[in-house]
Amino acid sequence: MKQLKTKHIWIIAKYHMRFSLRNGSGIIFLLLAIITSLLVSSAFIAPAEATANLAKSSLAGTDQEIKPSDFINEIGQSKYMITAVNWLVEEKDQGQYLLKEKPALLSCIMLVMLMLLPYLVCFGSFNQTSGDIANRGLRFLLLRTERSNLYLGRFLGTILFCLTTVIITILLLTLYIQLKLNIYPGTTTWLWSLQGAAAFFLICLPIIALCSLISCSIDTPFGSLVLCLLIVGLPSLLLNYAGNAIRVESLDKLWPTGWQFGTLNSNITTITITTTSLIAFTALFLWIGIKIFQKRDL
Amino acid sequence: MNKTTEPSPPNLHETNGSEQKEIAVSFQNITKKYGNNTVLDNISFDIPKNSVFGIIGPNGAGKTTLFSIAAGFVKANSGNAHILGTNINQISQLLGRLSMLPQDANFQAGIPVLEQLIMFSELNGMTKDQAKHASMEALKIVGLEEIAKKSARALSHGMSKRVALCQAFIGNPEVIFLDEPTAGLDPDNARSIRELIRQYSKNKTIIISSHNLAEIQNICHHVTILDKGKLVENSSMEELVSAKNIIRVELTDPLTEQLYHALTALHCTSELHQTGACTFNLTIENTGRKEALKAIYSTMAEQETFPKSIQEGESLESRFLEVTGGQYDGNSST
């Protein structure tokens, strides 16, 4: 890759982050992420509250002391949580780990968010270059820096914006759970949230790189958004279907969404392999994207 | 980081056999095709340093494509271009020395103009403070300092064009490409932009593409005419418009038959070509321009006909029509 300039990449990233917030696409992504996380949280918290209330009422009138840990077990073993975890996570060990060893409520919310995030992140990254290619706005920049700097700068800007969104989302999520249903020990919850934030961020990386690639290949922002959403979701569905049809396990691992939940695991090897795979997907999409961007007419 | 080992072209341009000028931009055998459509066909010419160079041609002649290739927006199918001795494939080496007013390029709609200019200046290598100062100065030059904090969406077409022009002048670049700088502007705005170009053309190479032939004739020292992707004319403006011994006459009234005969009977004229009801071109013999002009004036006076204007040399418009063999669809008066 020729003429990479860190300073240029940083300038472009900084302004892209700021501009995407002002232009609306960043705000839409931020709001979508916050609203979705709160909706998912309330969907899980409401039955959890009911379970806690039921447990409380069953102990009412007895001399037994009511401890938050009693509710933790009740909630962790509730049917809807087990169903949700089993639906999303194939490995039984991982399911048990998420429900028993970690704050189950937070685990479930994070799993659902991990499932939705690849689609949500498309809204924040579909227009990295397509809009400016369409209105030829990139031409003001192309004489001032190399195409690769421009591409990587916009990618980095989107990543930074996504990281900010992830942090805000996870903070809100955890605070919401802690304030609404104060049943988990603070340190455990915040540490688990931190791992969740890392998992969120890691799954966003290849998706943003994929969106960069699509965005630089398509001249219309709307077309780019539609393609991003389709290309993020369809291959994993097809690979899952094909895997079941030909009885080949883990065929879905050929696409980033196949690694969605691997980072919320007790096994450090699984976490390492998942992280490496997601970063490798990111690098691959970035490489292809830069090649396309360098060759195409702008 | 790769470096192309291809040698730079000779940086000298030979004119009139002996005089040598430095070359700012050099196009060598540029060909660009979109599918089966050849937009530029083996174009080669040089642009001398510190000159104002005009590129004209009918719609679809390939002017904007040539600009786009020079700026690296579009890749040529074959051929090479060098700017200030640097291959355009390594355009970043020209950072700050080259700028462009691209045709139909838009600023980011919701972002204040000043902020966008600051970003461009920072990419040109300035610090944030320098960038802010340079951007404000550039806005002042085009008379738009009051819209600095307005978003690009709020600008009129004329304002956008002036801001686009102002970004091209930020940082004092050596080579500036201006693609249709006055297109779509009212006469007032167009005039102020022409003035600006004249004012800032000292020690700079400015390359202008335009439909406005009068504008090109007024501003440019050199001109290249493209037609259907081919280079049909390339010379200095002086050579081009005085290529023939022509005197252009515009009368207050239509040309009469008597005057026609009187003028063609003059020993110093060889041909009268009527270009309009009141306009005609006289081809004069090599008897000296002064004498010819004297004879023409007195003949007209005898016929009690008064000229509105008499200009020596061929107009760029007529030369343009001659070499392109077509209709002029531009505006020559704004």
Q: How far apart are CA A233 and CA B237, in angstroms?
A: 61
| A141 vs A81, more confident | A141
Q: Which of A11, A139, A146 sits opposite B102 (nearest CB)?
A: A139
A283/B contact by beta carbon, under 8 A: no
Closest residue of B to A6, CA-based?
Answer: B123
Tell me the pLDDT of chain A averaged across its residues. Answer: 87
Q: Give the nearest partner residue to B99 out of A132, A135, A143, using CB atoms.
A: A143
Mean pLDDT of B164-191: 86
Q: Which of A8, A136, A297 sits opposite B106 (nearest CB)?
A: A136
Whether residue A244 is predicted with pLDDT greater than 70 in this model: the reply is yes
Nearest CA in chain B to A149: B92
Burial A85-101 (b: 16+ CB within 10 A, else e): beebbeeeebbebbbee
Q: Give A139→chain B minimum CA distance, Å.
A: 7
User: How far is the CA of A112 from the CAs of A118, B59, B272, B308, in angstroms?
Assistant: 11, 56, 86, 83
Torsion of CA A245, A247, A248, A252, to 10 degrees: 40
Q: Point out which residues pair with B151 in neighbouring strands.
A: B112
Q: What is the DSSP secondary structure assignment for residue B220, as one 8-state letter?
A: -
Chain A residues close to B167, C-beta within 8 Å? 140
In this complex, which of B75, B100, B110 lies closest to A143 when CB atoms are compared? Answer: B100
B160 touching A, CB under 8 A?
no
Contacts of B111 in chain A (CB under 8 A): 19, 22-23
pLDDT of residue B332: 40
Q: Please, which pLDDT band fits residue B292 given cuts at 50, 70 and 90? A: confident
Q: Which long-range contacts (CB under 8 A, 24 or more apart) does B160-163 make?
A: B160/B106, B160/B107, B161/B185, B161/B189, B161/B193, B162/B189, B162/B193, B163/B107, B163/B113, B163/B117, B163/B139
Residue B14 is predicted with a pLDDT of 46
A146 neighbourhood in chain B, CB within 8 Å: 91-92
Per-residue pLDDT band for A67 (boundaries 50, 70, 90) equals low
Angle at the Cα of B323 from the Cα atoms of B317 and B324, rounded to 5 degrees = 85
The residue to which tokens 């009693």 are assigned: A70
A-chain residue closest to B177, CA distance: A143
A126-145 residues touching B, CB cutoff 8 A = 132, 135-137, 139-145
Chain B residue closest in CA terms to A3: B1
Query: How would residue A3 be classed by pLDDT, with cut points 50, 70 and 90?
Result: low
Give residue-wise pLDDT tens across range A107-162. 999 999 999 999 999 999 998 999 999 988 899 998 888 899 999 999 999 999 99
Task: Report domain extents, chain B.
Answer: 12-107+155-240, 246-313
- In the stretch 119-138 of chain B, residues with CB closer than 8 A to chain A read 119-120, 122-124
Least confident of A39-43, A266-270, B214-218: B214-218
Q: Do B2 and A2 touch (CB under 8 A)?
A: yes
State whether B90 and A3 contact (CB < 8 Å): yes
In this model, does residue B13 exceed pLDDT 50? no
Chain B positions in Cβ-Cβ contact with residue A137 (cut-off 8 Å): 105-108
Q: Which among A109, A115, A210, A111 is positioned nearest to A159, based on CA atoms?
A: A210
- The rounded percent of chain A whose pLDDT value lies above 70 is 95
Are the C-beta atoms of A210 and A288 separated by less than 8 Å?
no
In percent, the amount of chain A with pLDDT more than 90 equals 46
Contact between residue B58 and residue B326 where contact means Cβ atoms under 8 Å apart: yes
Q: Which residue has the tokens 């409520």?
A: A105
Prediction pTM value: 0.81
Tally the C-alpha atoms within 13 A of residue B308's C-alpha that lie toward its C-beta: 10
- Would an 8 Å CB–CB cutoff place A294 in contact with chain B? no
C-alpha separations of A24 from A21, A43, A127, A224 in Å:
6, 28, 11, 16
Check CB contact of B75 with chain A, cutoff 8 Å. yes
Radius of gyration from C-alpha coordinates of chain A: 21
Of the pLDDT bands very low, low, confident and very high (cuts 50, 70, 90), residue B202 is confident
Nearest to B74, CA basis, from B51, B102, B107: B102
CATH topology (fold) of B246-313: Alpha-Beta Plaits (3.30.70)
CATH 3.30.390.30 fits B12-107+155-240, yes or no: no
**How far apart (Å, rounded) are the C-alpha atoms in residues B69 and B73?**
6
The total of other beta-carbon atoms located within 10 Å of residue A18's CB is 16
Say whether pLDDT at B4 is over 60.
Answer: no
A contact test, residue of B95, B100, B108, B114 with most A CBs within 10 A: B108
**Tens of pLDDT, residues B242-268:** 655 778 888 888 888 889 998 888 888
B104 and A141 within 8 Å at the Cβ level: the answer is no
pLDDT at position B111 over 90: no
CB B23 within 8 A of CB B48: yes
DSSP bridge partners of B272: B282
What's the pLDDT score for residue B10? 43
Angle A221-245/A104-125 helices, nearest 10 degrees?
A: 130
pLDDT, tens digit (0-9, with 9 covering 90-100), for B315-333: 677 777 777 766 555 444 3
Instruction: Tell me the β-bridge partners of A273.
Output: none
Contact A12 B123 (CB under 8 A): yes
Mean pLDDT, chain B, rounded, equals 82
Q: Say if B106 is an interface residue toward chain A (CB within 8 Å).
A: yes
